[in-house]
Structure 1
């Protein structure tokens, strides 16, 4: 990290510790920091208008009705005490009014000149309305609020192109917040070295359209953007930068608080515009068929198997709703191969549907996706091998996620031409599996996963020409056609040491966590089978 960025991180994080005494969690602090930084950026942009003589070229971020009353960063700088607290609380309330302030909305283009603006009622129409949607003030001590505004944020220039400082600092604060939380969304926070390794072998270019349907705070999207700049900046034209920053990179995130962090993270890395269409969609990615396809999909979807929604591939009513399950909820996805309430399996189907022609995907899945029994799981694995080229699997070690005992694998698969008959061979001819798990022990603090641990995998992957791959002790090849013909199409392949031996060596806490995860997977499959048979489970049986 840039030394200046590290300095900024240390300053901002030290103040998080101060606010903890007032009951402000690290998560809430990061949220408040996002609000205030956005307001400061809007103020900086407004000041830059003074150097532009043509008033028609002036840009304003805050809505006219806010600016006309002298509201915004300047107002916060001038106030103290309870007046400051009231003004800040009122400003957040007015800006977070569920997206009604859309005066400055600009059309979003996907890089091909097509306008793509839509309004789903409660859907934010600008990055501003996404970030401030239902915003609340969690800093009740006016003295602490004033110090945060004056001594920390106001002393930094947030609107410059120095994303290696402000952007990297913000991302580092997100990482520290996750480490501090150790629960909730942070438990499956994807380690940065793993993200960067996956992106390196996927080789993104300025011509790709890139998405993450469960983007969290945007780690995969930012890593792909950074890799493009490293590899292709010498070949890029101004319009390439504009297209990447205005629609070729986007994500979807279900949790509103996380979505606003992702949007702010992208902004600070010069992706998106405060007054433009949000590049982060705050919604359930599974609720409807993809509206935009991508040539590169990078994702670490939620690991939990249970979902309140039954995803059906049957009746389509035109509004995304299908036949209801026993809870009264269902989505209709006719593009899916089968129906299941299992969230992990549905994300795998969704990611496959997201791929554009010649597209490629890398998705992190818990190991139960590879071997889970039941009609739905078997069908999904078989269809994946038949329709797509699942060419590589990276078996990940335990200890790299905040949730102990998690066993996960990265699936790398490519779009393939449609099979025109059942007699045609599956599109997956060979599956190469790299075992990074056997004999590897990692912890979050003492022995974290680092880039050098993935160097041999990247070399074996042969991103430039996969036909040059060679078998080694850790890198094995399997016959895709033979796997398709097996009864359960289990893909639990490639480990040098059997999984049972690995689990016996786990510490008791991690072993219990692994057992619980397996039991949850089994219960999800029982619930899915009950749905297929029309059996209504009681609340206790379905819990």
Structure 2
């Protein structure tokens, strides 16, 4: 972002101070701002034809001048009932957290006074994503669960090298960061200016996502729109772990995602009829979706917490199935402290689909440890793309991890960050992929425990997983009905 865009971004973020007296949270503010920015941008970019005349920006300004807060609330409701698909989705179940007419007036005036003509379309997208990142960094907002750090996203996209022919999917899209980064990579590495508008629109229709939470889905639509996606019919509101995920998300050449942490709400198991393995562990369920949804030859990069690498029973079954059907060639152990849930250790799995009937596709797994002896990331030490440069170099230029490319990699030994482990070595570990060898001597290492809520969630996930496995044993023994397997235990 240039300095002008940064200044506008800071002014927009500072506007949240206007709403503090109304008890509005950071997340509510970004949602509130999304409603107003959508209407303002439609006017500034000459796209108001999609919005009914009596619900456009000029009408919002009039209602703000007239202190007609009730009229503004009614506008939001009616915008959610309009016939235009994008407008309807942006304003679905829209409500305002503003409590005072004066606050609405100040907010509208402040937005109106900003120099929008100094910002081009792509910068508008970057500006909005900056707001999303600021929101995610505020612990109290709770929005971090929908936002993956952009340096991590860009590093994953860079090694996966999205192309013009790729159908790209994010089954846990959040605010659509992966999809936008993939599009920017394609735009940078291909001459899109030489393509006709119809071809570019067709390319954008190869991008697909699904998000469960309506507020996050709303922000994703706005983010995509500001990054040039005129048609966002590939961005679905829904649950990937139900049959609507199988129905609405097409098979993909490339899947990039960071599934939500934790267990399925209510402790139940996914209701996907095409799933073989039943587990309340959402990350494991997403892993099954991903390797099932990849086309043969398709590739994936997925963020998962450590428990996916070592969880027993169903976890072992899913890892074995993954290593049979896919070539799991690389695991990146991520630094701690880069996500909203402090203390949660995460990794990125990189794999390529062989076929649905393949066996023993994984012959070796390379593990890059970017966790040991790394700084404590946070506001004082932000994560940057530079932190991933050595990993990207070690990964190489082959996005699929073909054997001849892996043969060129260098095993750095017990003192290095990059090592190779054969399938036989992994089998001897009980098919655990939680592999570490470096002694962590970074300042504060081992001293700071995760927050109590994080520990509680991890304990609940392990207990619910164990209960689910025991119930499945009872089903197999004929002692319990299959329909009871997913019930909640008080």
SS at match of 2:15: helix
Deviation of the 1:74 alpha carbon = 1.8
Does the CA-based 8 Å contact 2:256-2:302 persist in structure 1? yes
Structure 2 CA distance for partners of 1:394 and 1:235, relative to 1, 3 Å: farther
Does the CA-based 8 Å contact 2:365-2:420 persist in structure 1? yes
Residue 282 of structure 1: which of 202, 224, 237 is its match?
A: 237
For 2:64 and 2:418, the matched residues in 1 are separated by 63
SS at match of 2:49: coil
Does the CA-based 8 Å contact 2:333-2:369 persist in structure 1? yes
Does the CA-based 8 Å contact 1:182-1:402 persist in structure 2? no
Structure 1 equivalent of residue 110 of structure 2 = 151
For 2:114 and 2:202, the matched residues in 1 are separated by 32
Structure 2 equivalent of residue 542 of structure 1 = 489
Deviation of the 1:235 alpha carbon = 7.8
Structure 1 equivalent of residue 419 of structure 2 = 476
Deviation of the 1:426 alpha carbon = 0.6
Does the CA-based 8 Å contact 2:27-2:142 persist in structure 1? no
Structure 2 equivalent of residue 530 of structure 1 = 470
Residue 170 of structure 1: which of 124, 128, 138 is its match?
A: 128
Deviation of the 1:458 alpha carbon = 0.4
Deviation of the 1:518 alpha carbon = 4.0
Does the CA-based 8 Å contact 2:336-2:343 persist in structure 1? yes
For 1:180 and 1:512, the matched residues in 2 are separated by 18
Residues 1-12 of structure 1 aligned to structure 2 (within 5 Å):
1-12=1-12
Structure 1 equivalent of residue 402 of structure 2 = none
Deviation of the 1:447 alpha carbon = 1.8
Deviation of the 1:303 alpha carbon = 1.0
For 1:137 and 1:511, the matched residues in 2 are separated by 32
For 1:235 and 1:79, the matched residues in 2 are separated by 42
Does the CA-based 8 Å contact 2:4-2:119 persist in structure 1? no
Deviation string 1:11-51 (CA, Å, 9 cap, x unpaired) is 11111122112222211111111111111233345x57xxx
Residue 89 of structure 2: which of 125, 130, 138 is its match?
A: 130
SS at match of 2:339: coil
Are 1:196 and 2:154 matched, yes or no?
Answer: yes
SS at match of 1:469: coil
SS at match of 1:217: coil
Does the CA-based 8 Å contact 2:320-2:431 persist in structure 1? yes
Structure 1 equivalent of residue 304 of structure 2 = 365
Structure 2 CA distance for partners of 1:489 and 1:72, relative to 1, 3 Å: same
Ranges in structure 2 where 5+ consecutive residues have no aligned partner:
399-404
SS at match of 2:22: coil
Structure 1 equivalent of residue 430 of structure 2 = 488
Does the CA-based 8 Å contact 2:192-2:200 persist in structure 1? no
Deviation of the 1:6 alpha carbon = 0.3
Does the CA-based 8 Å contact 1:263-1:280 persist in structure 2? yes
Are 1:401 and 2:339 matched, yes or no?
Answer: yes
For 1:509 and 1:490, the matched residues in 2 are separated by 24
Structure 2 CA distance for partners of 1:523 and 1:306, relative to 1, 3 Å: farther
For 2:457 and 2:446, the matched residues in 1 are separated by 14
Are 1:344 and 2:289 matched, yes or no?
Answer: no
Deviation string 1:84-116 (CA, Å, 9 cap, x unpaired) is 31221111011123xxx32x5xxxxxxxxxxxx
Aligned-CA RMSD value: 2.8
Deviation of the 1:180 alpha carbon = 2.0
Structure 2 CA distance for partners of 1:370 and 1:290, relative to 1, 3 Å: farther
Does the CA-based 8 Å contact 1:11-1:152 persist in structure 2? no
SS at match of 2:179: helix
Does the CA-based 8 Å contact 1:476-1:494 persist in structure 2? no
Structure 2 equivalent of residue 241 of structure 1 = 200
Deviation of the 1:174 alpha carbon = 0.7
Residues 93-104 of structure 1 aligned to structure 2 (within 5 Å):
93-97=77-81, 101-102=82-83, 104=84
SS at match of 2:121: coil
For 1:154 and 1:250, the matched residues in 2 are separated by 36
For 1:530 and 1:153, the matched residues in 2 are separated by 60
Deviation of the 1:530 alpha carbon = 3.3
Deviation of the 1:480 alpha carbon = 2.1
For 1:431 and 1:146, the matched residues in 2 are separated by 58
Deviation string 1:317-352 (CA, Å, 9 cap, x unpaired) is xxxxxxxxxxxxx61322x23111221110110111
Structure 2 CA distance for partners of 1:504 and 1:142, relative to 1, 3 Å: closer
Deviation of the 1:153 alpha carbon = 4.1
Does the CA-based 8 Å contact 1:179-1:186 persist in structure 2? yes
Deviation string 1:483-538 (CA, Å, 9 cap, x unpaired) is 3x55831111244238xx99993334427566445423321222212331246699
Are 1:449 and 2:383 matched, yes or no?
Answer: yes
Does the CA-based 8 Å contact 1:434-1:494 persist in structure 2? no
Does the CA-based 8 Å contact 2:332-2:370 persist in structure 1? yes
Residue 387 of structure 1: which of 312, 317, 325 is its match?
A: 325
Residue 50 of structure 2: which of 46, 61, 82 is its match?
A: 61
Deviation string 1:440-475 (CA, Å, 9 cap, x unpaired) is 132211222222211110000002444421111211
SS at match of 1:409: strand
Between stretches 385-394 and 31-40, larger displacement belongs to: 31-40
Structure 2 CA distance for partners of 1:349 and 1:504, relative to 1, 3 Å: farther
Does the CA-based 8 Å contact 2:64-2:104 persist in structure 1? no
Structure 2 equivalent of residue 505 of structure 1 = 445
For 2:385 and 2:56, the matched residues in 1 are separated by 43
